[in-house]
Structures are given as C-alpha cells and as structure tokens.
Amino acid sequence: MIRLTLKIGLGLALIRWQGVYKDVEAHWLRCATLDGVLLPTAQEAAEQKANQAEQEAVQAKQEAVQAKQEAVQAKQRAAQLAEKLRALGVNPDEI
C-alpha cells in the first residue's frame, strides 16, 4: 500500500490505496483516520455487520443450548431431592 496522505479538516485523511472496489482492481483514494486506519466502504461495513450478526447468532445458540442443559440438570436435581424426601416419608407434593 502506498500512502499519500492529505489531511482534511474533519480529522480524516485521504490515502492512496490499491485494491478492489466495485469489482475494479485499481489505485483509489480512500478515507482514513489520521492514524491511517481505513474507513470501511459501504460493502465492507455491510460484510462486517453480517459477520457480527452471524457471530451473535452462534453465541445465542450456544447460550440456548447451555440454558437447556442447566434446565435438565435442575430438573434432575429436583427429582433426586423429591426421591430423598419420599425416602424420609415426606411427600414433596404436599410441601
């Protein structure tokens, strides 16, 4: 990447960037922070949002599986406690 920086009064810079934009490989001027971090194009931003949404969906699915496992464990523990109470002569349904 060749850097040709032109500072803009908005705290941004224009950087000469070589890459693909709208299916065209060329040298482009791209907006960047003054530290040289490129601002994403609309397509890049959409891809980032899609990736983030996909990661959040995977995480939500994992949390749902974990919650289901915890519910099963709680149900098993409740059944064990009820059985112990019955063994002691206490009807857990009457407590």
| Most distant pair of Cα atoms in the chain: their distance | 85
Q: Give residue limits of the domains in the chain.
A: 1-39, 41-95
Q: What is the pLDDT of residues 69-82, one digit of tens each?
A: 999 999 999 999 99
Q: What is the pLDDT of residue 14?
A: 87
If one compares 84 and 4, the residue with the highest pLDDT of the two is 84
- Residue of 65, 66, 94, 72 lying closest to 82 (CA atoms): 94
Average pLDDT over residues 32-60: 95
pTM of the model: 0.61
